[in-house]
Structures are given as structure tokens and as C-alpha cells.
Amino acid sequence: MSIVSNLLLITLAGVVLNVLFYKSKTVQKYLSLLLFTALAYFSFTMYGQVGLHFDFPFLIAGQSIGFTITYLNYYFTIMITGITLLLVIFSLKYMEGKEGSTHYYTVLFLKTFGMLGVVLSSDIITFFVFWEIMSWSTFALMSTGGNEAPKSAFKYFVFAITASMILMVGVVLSYSLFGSFDFNIIRSGIPSLTLPMTGFLLTIFITAFAIESAVFPVHSWLPNGYSNTFTTFTAYLSGISTRIGIYGIILFLFGIFGMETVDKLSIIGKINFRYVLGVFAAITMVVPTFTALYQHDAKKLIAWHSIGQGGYMLIGLASGSALGIAGGMLHILNYLTYQVLIVFAIASVQYRTGTTNLNKLGGLIKKMPVSFLALLFGIIGLAGLPPMNVFVSKWFIYRALILEGYPFLAIAAVIGTLGTILSVYKLIHNMFLGQLPERYNDIKEVGFSMQLPMWILMIVVFGLGVFPGFAMGLIAKIQVSLGLAAVPYSLHGVTAEGGQLNMLVVNVLFVSGMFVTWIIYLLGSRRKHVGQYNNYAGGHFLNKDVAYNFNYEFYAAMEHVIDPYRKKIIERTERGIVGLTDAVSEYVRRIYTGMINTYAIYVLTAFVITIILLKELI
Amino acid sequence: MNTVLWIIFLPIILFVIGTFMLGYSRKFIARIERRYGPPIQQVFYDVFKLMSKKTNISHGWMHDIAMLVLLGGTLATLYFVPVPGFSYFAQYGDMLVIMYILLVPALGMALGVGETANPNGSIGISRALMMLAGYDIPFVLTFIGFGMLNHTTSMYDLMMIQQAGGFTSWGLISNPLLGIAALIALQGMIGEKPFEVMVAPHEIATGPMTEMGGKFLGIMMIQHAISLVVELTLYINLFLGGAMNWFEYIIKLFVLFTVLISVNAVFGRFRTDDAVRFMWKIPLPMAVIGILFIIF
């Protein structure tokens, strides 16, 4: 038994057993915990087996297909299994008594099965099959929980089908070009293609992955799809599921096509394929981040950010330098940790208060300090400020963009970061700060099993901020295995030739600065804590009947500034896309006349063409 | 040994310079308005008075910790900014580190103010963050352009390049569009009029400071003095060729500050959306054109 089959069989067993025990939620719960622990254990031990192959016992079109372990897919596998384990621990308590959760663990296992298959596959046909399983289970995940969920899941379904069809074209095309499904054979065949053909094939694959990772013009399925489902699924979907698209982009851009081939696809001068990708990434960073400002629902706000943060990964990869690619890859891990942390904090608040509406919450810091701390760590991460881990990956990306001479892509990254700071402050302020409504007076902090995953993630978010070298070791190995230059990293940042970043120094200075301030603070007389009604109100007396809070339309002035741009540019673009789709669909629709005679002619024509083609081949 | 002395005394020196500059600005504006104005060391008195207050009101633990993050973050920032004679930490953090570590005190502050549960404070923070989006984009863009031109992101390197090239290689002279754009953004960064809508004493009761008193306000004043010097030093190092010695440094600080507070003295206050719009319509396109000049 190889380790890959262990992983896949465990997840498959999880699916089957959860279906069998659908009546007992307790059995489902602990069974899933056990299986996911085993899964995480096996995936971590995979490190020693890089390079191993595992083939299916049957052939397809005379070729063996199966799985392989590389540094790249090891990186993704541990992310998938690690986060799923934390998610299951969190769900033990969270999912208690939730309606419509009979198949919660079943779809979770199915989704994990699909994702593991995609990242571990060594050939394009396995990749495609598991991609389909993954898309279908994403649809299943999205359509559970809430009345709105099936509708928004259907929207995803349309996009996912499109992506699958595009991917299918890619699979068939590459088989007809290279006569093989194997990634290695395709890789060695790529340089012999003509440039237009290379460009076409690459565009096909990247488009399919861009839909899955919600790059700007094809992102619209994500916000509702992710926010209408269970909050734990929001964490899972936005944390790792969307990033499988980025895995595809890394695999095809660097692993299969290779940087040299991609860089030959130049339009004029510096405007090449990577640059076009970078421009899409830049729009993806800016537009969804500012859309997040408008949201009144915590889950929806964070769902918009999961689109925006994908832009950072993509722009890092598109920068093409060792530093930028390392930044893009590191950002996937960093993003996963803080995004899941944030959604867990939101889920905790929802668990206690029953709402995620930002206009109805407030002041919960007094009641739920651990969740506040979790959200605080998460938002410092999301905003990309020191001392958290994300600052490192964003620093890599900014520096790479500046040194590679992409000032406008760099400024897009900065604009995205500023928009993020604005919207995350709104998130934490409206939930935890400000006035505590009377109805939340007897709320308690969530239990240990929900706190534990948050504490673990907080330690990771902070720890990887001080010691990014732990993750960088693996990233550098991935870069070497993909034939790229490795980033000159050290345990605390980068070495002198890579630039000036030492997170340990930053953190030591920061902590000692806080210590000095603490001494200054102690020099003054003792402070006294007062309640929230002991407050300046211009001479009025405050009590529980006086609403004295500011959280509705938190950034009204900003919305005034952005609105014209939004109306002019974004809405027009969207209308344009809708119009184009309408027009195309109108023509496609005409094919389906509804008359049996026409269909018979179609079938006949297809048959004739197939025979002619087959004759040519033989 | 020398480094240790610098580490201990640099914050104190910058604090002293900062308080004198704040006192100078009060005097300067008073004279423009034909008042006599407070003595130049008034800000010192204020800090000591506030720190020795007997009653200190706090609204919770985040309110307390916010003070530590606020001043602690600023103290961490100032070491990364090279000053004459001391640039030891420049090898551990470049301009990008400075730009983002500068935002940490602001975030700590924002969280503390949020916990005070005073809407005036929250409104002030909301305005301050919107202003941040206004001025930071042009400011960072100028730095990006300058860094791209010299192929480095290290502030120390940028300063050294300007010092080696003499007066004509100063950022403000060689790339005037970037220099002026950054100057306008700097006005927003130090929060002087017309970009002081987050404080606005007449409408939101000094915004973030509403619920701050005693030693809390004292620490905020210390932080304000230090961060003022740090932010002006950023501009001096990037666009005015840095400084060889402390005499030159202090002269440049005061000249630059006088320019900024002269604008402050004659302007009213922009509304938030107008201020952001102004930042995105004047300095931002200037910086973009400046960068286009660099590219072509």
C-alpha cells in the first residue's frame, strides 16, 4: 500500500461510513475526527517519499495513469489535511443541533477526496476526473445550510461546468498533440509546439483555473456561494478550495509549460503573457477589496476578501522573479491560516449571537475575548501588517514587483492592502468594539473545542511571522523542483542578497518598544476601568436606552468617493460581459431548434466527421 | 557600544525635537493669527502634566494595550529610519517594512479607541482610515517610482545615492513631480490642515482623543511628537538627500515643517470625501506621470 492510496482510501472510507451512519450524528462526528487525524498524520509523513509514483492497476488508452508525490503537491496536501482536521475539531461543537447537517461530514470527505486527487495526480486525465469530483462536491458543500444556499450554489455550478468544459478541451487537445496524458511527456513536448499553439493551450488551462480561483471577471459566483453556506464551510471553501485553482496555475505555468516557454509569449516588449496575468491579478486585488467595504455581513465581507487575496498570489506568480514566486506561494499558506482564523472567529460570534450582521453586533470584546484575539490576529494578517506571517509574503511580492519594474502592479497591491485595512477595521469594530447591545449581556465565550483550533492558528500566524524560514524551506525546494531559482531565505526572513527583511529584529524591536511603553505607562497613577455608559456624550446622560454607537455605513464618505468609479467602470464592464454572454447564448440557442429532424442531422454529421477523422488517423 | 548608546538615546532625542517642533508650530500659528501663543516648551509641560494626573479612566484591556501598541510600534519604527550617524537597523528592514510598521500604531490606536464605545472616537477612526487610503497611495507610489529608478527598496541606499550625487540628485530636484506629490501626501500623513478631519474638535470632540485622558493622552502626545519627526525624516531621506550631520538634519526638519505648517495656517478643513478625492486627483496623477517619465 502506498501512502497516496492510504490518503485516498481513508477519505473514501469516510464518505462511505458517513453515509452508512447517517442516523447517528455522534458516530459521524467522532469517526470523522479519527479519520481526519489519520489523514493528517499520513500526509505529514509523506515528506520522506517525494518522488514516489502510484499507478492505477488499469490502463487508459494504453497508458498507466495515477499519482505522484512532489514537493509542490506535498505542500498542498498538508495544507488540505491540516486545515480539515482543525475544521473538524471546530465543528464538533459548532454543528451540534444544526438543521440540514446530516451529510455535513460526507460532503467534507468527498471534497477532501477530490482535492487530494487533484493535487496528487501525475497525469492530466486523473487530474480532470478528480477536478470533476471536486467541483461537484463544492456544489454539494455550497448547497447545504440556509434557504439561499441552493440558489447561489447553482450559480457556482454554471461557472464550474464552464471551467470543466474548458479544461476538457485542454485535456483532449494535449492528448491529440502529445499522444499522452502524462505530465512529464507533455512537459517535454511543449517546446516543440508553435508559439500560437502554446499560447492557446496555456490560455485554455489558465482560464479554467482562473474560474476556480475566482479571478476578476469570473469571480461573481464566489461571494454569495461562500457566504450562504455553513460558516465552517465558508472557512473551508475560501481557505483552501479556491486555492486549488492557484495550484493548477503553478503546476501548468511553471511545472509543465515552464518559465522560458511562457516568456516567449510576448505581445509587445514587456507586455507578455505573465504581464497580462498580472493585470488581471491587479484588478482582482483592487475591485473586490473595495467591494468588501460595502458589505454589511461579516461572511460576505470576508468572502470578497478571499477573491482579493487570490490576486496577491497570482500577481506574485506573474512577477516571474524568484522572490515574487516565493511570495505568491507563501501567501497561499499564510492566507489559509489567517482566513480560516477569521472565519472561525466569525463562526464563534454567530454560534453565540446567531447573527453575522455587522449592523446588529458590537462590544463583544467584553464577553468573548478569545474570539476577539483570534479575529485581531486574523485581521492583522489579512491587512498584511507586521508582525504577522502575511507581512512576509506581501513584502516578497511588493519587493519583487518594484525590482522587476512593474510600478503600476505594485501600486495595485498597495491599494488593495489599504482597502483591506479599511474593511477589516470595520469588521472587528462592528463585531467586537463600540457599544454592547443590552441583548448580548449574558453571552459567554465559546467552549474549549472551538477555542483550540483558534489558538493553534494564532500560534501559526504569529510563529510563521517571526520564523518564516520554516515555510520558506519547503517553498525553496518547490522552486528548485520546478526549475526556478530559489529565493535566498533565512530563518527570519531573507538573506542580505535578497533584500532587507529580518522579522526577528522587527519583532524584538516591537516587543521591547511595547515594554518601554509599559514602563512609561506604569509611571502614571493606576488606571480605573469604567463601564460603557460612563462616557462623554456632550452633557447627556447615557443609559441602556440610549443607542450611542457608530457602525452603520461606517465608510459613507469613502463610498461617495468610490461610487462614481464603480458605476462608470465596474458596472459598465459587467453589463458588457452580460451583453456579450447574452449575444453568444442567443446564437448557441439557435442550434437547439427543438425539432427531432435537426437533431438527427446533427448526429449524422457528427458521425460522418468522426469516421473521416478516424480514417485519417488510421 | 556606540550602537547601544544610540538605541537608548535616539527615541529621547527624537522626542525632544518633536516636542520643540510642536511648540514651534503653536507659536508660529499664533503669530500668524496675531496672538502671542504659548511658550515653545509648552508641549513638554503638557506631557508631564498629563502623565502625573491622578485619575486615569480606561474602558477595558484593549484600551490599555492600545497604548503599548501605539507607542511601542512607533519606537520600533524609528530605528529603521536612518538618521545621521545611525543606520544600524537599516540592514534588517527596508522602506517597505517602514511603510507597513508605521501602520501598526495606527491600528492599535484604532482598536483602543473602538473599545471606548464613544461614537465620536469611532467616527474619528473611520475618517482617519479613509484619509490613510487617500494619502498613502500617492506617497507609496512616489517611493515605488524612486525605488524602481534606483533598483533598490532600501531607504539607506536611496539616501546614500542622493548624497553621493550632490544637490542635483535630490529626489525633489531630479524627480520634481514625485517630490511634490509626496509633499502633498506628507501633509495628510502628519494630519495638518486641510487634512485634519479625523480630529475636527468642533464637530466630533477631537475624535480619537475623546475618551482619552491623563496618562493615556500623555502617551499619545509622546507618540505624536516622535511619529512627526519620523514621518518628516522619511521625506527628508527620500527627497531632500538625507542629512550628513545633525545640524543639517535639524535645519531640514524645521524648514520642511515650516512649509507644512504654513499651509496648515491658511487653510480650512476639507471634508473627508473631498480630502480623499483631492489626494486621488492631484498628487496621485502627478506621481503616475512622474513614474511614466522614469519609465520612458
Chain B interface includes A161 (CB < 8 A): no
pLDDT in tens, A425-444: 888 888 888 888 888 888 88
Give phi and psi for A357, each to the nearest 5: -75, 120
Residue A376: closest CA among A368, B125, A355, A504: A368
pLDDT band at A617 (very low <50, low <70, confident <90, very high): low
Mind listing the pLDDT tens digit of every residue in chain B (296 residues)? 688 888 888 888 889 999 999 999 989 889 888 899 899 888 889 888 888 888 888 888 888 888 888 899 898 888 888 888 887 887 777 888 888 888 888 888 888 888 888 888 888 888 888 888 888 888 888 888 888 888 888 888 888 888 887 778 787 888 888 888 988 998 888 888 888 877 777 777 787 888 888 888 888 889 989 999 998 998 888 888 878 888 888 998 889 999 998 988 888 888 888 888 888 888 889 888 888 888 77
For residue B125, give Cα distances in angstroms to A193, A281, B252. Answer: 57, 30, 31
Does A524 contact B101 at a Cβ distance shorter than 8 Å? no
**Mean pLDDT on A250-278:** 82
Residue B62: closest CA among A438, A434, A549, A360: A434
Detail the DSSP E strand segments found in A227-307.
266-268, 271-272
For residue B162, give Cα distances in angstroms to B79, B159, B236. Answer: 21, 5, 11
Look at residue A618 and tell me whether its pLDDT is greater than 60.
no
For residue A342, give Cα distances in angstroms to A305, A516, B126. Answer: 11, 31, 21
Domain count, chain B: 1
For residue B10, give Cα distances in angstroms to A420, B83, B86, B234. Answer: 33, 9, 9, 16
Q: Which residue has the higher pLDDT, B189 or A262?
A: B189
Please give the torsion angle defined by the CA atoms of residues B155, B158, B164 and B170, in that order, rounded to the nearest 10 degrees: -110
Question: Largest Cα–Cα distance in chain A?
Answer: 94
Q: Which three cell numbers stand for residue A597?
A: 429532424
**Mean pLDDT on A508-515:** 88
When the pLDDT of each residue in chain A is averaged and rounded to a whole number, the result is 85
CA distance B149 to B120: 43
Q: How far is CA A164 from the centre of its chain?
A: 19
pLDDT band at A455 (very low <50, low <70, confident <90, very high): very high
Q: Which three cell numbers stand for residue A16?
A: 462511505
Q: What residues make up the domain containing B116?
A: 2-295
Vertex A236: Cα angle to A233 and A238 (nearest 5):
100
Counts of helices then strands in chain B (DSSP H, E): 14, 1
pLDDT band at A532 (very low <50, low <70, confident <90, very high): confident
pTM: 0.89
pLDDT in tens, A176-232: 888 888 888 888 888 888 888 888 888 888 888 988 888 887 888 888 888 888 888
Does A513 contact B74 at a Cβ distance shorter than 8 Å? yes
**Each residue of B127-145: b (16+ CB within 10 Å) or e?**
bbbbbbbbbbbbbbbbbbb
The number of residues in chain A equals 618
Residues of B in contact with A391 (CB under 8 A): 100
Which of A411, A429, A536 minimises the CB distance to B205? A536
Half-sphere exposure at residue A64, Cβ-oriented, CA atoms within 13 angstroms:
9
Residues of B in contact with A410 (CB under 8 A): 144
Chain B interface includes A369 (CB < 8 A): yes
Q: Which three cell numbers stand for residue A394?
A: 506581501
Does B276 contact A526 at a Cβ distance shorter than 8 Å? no
CA distance A69 to A77: 10
Q: In which element (H, E) is residue A458 found?
A: helix A448-466
Listed in sequence order, the residues at least 6 apart from A116 whose beta carbon sits closer than 8 Å to its beta carbon are A7, A8, A11, A77, A80, A81, A130
Q: Which three cell numbers stand for residue B221?
A: 502626545
Chain B interface includes A565 (CB < 8 A): no
Chain A interface includes B127 (CB < 8 A): yes
For residue A546, give Cα distances in angstroms to A436, A438, A532, A542, B128. Answer: 12, 11, 12, 6, 26
Chain B interface includes A509 (CB < 8 A): yes
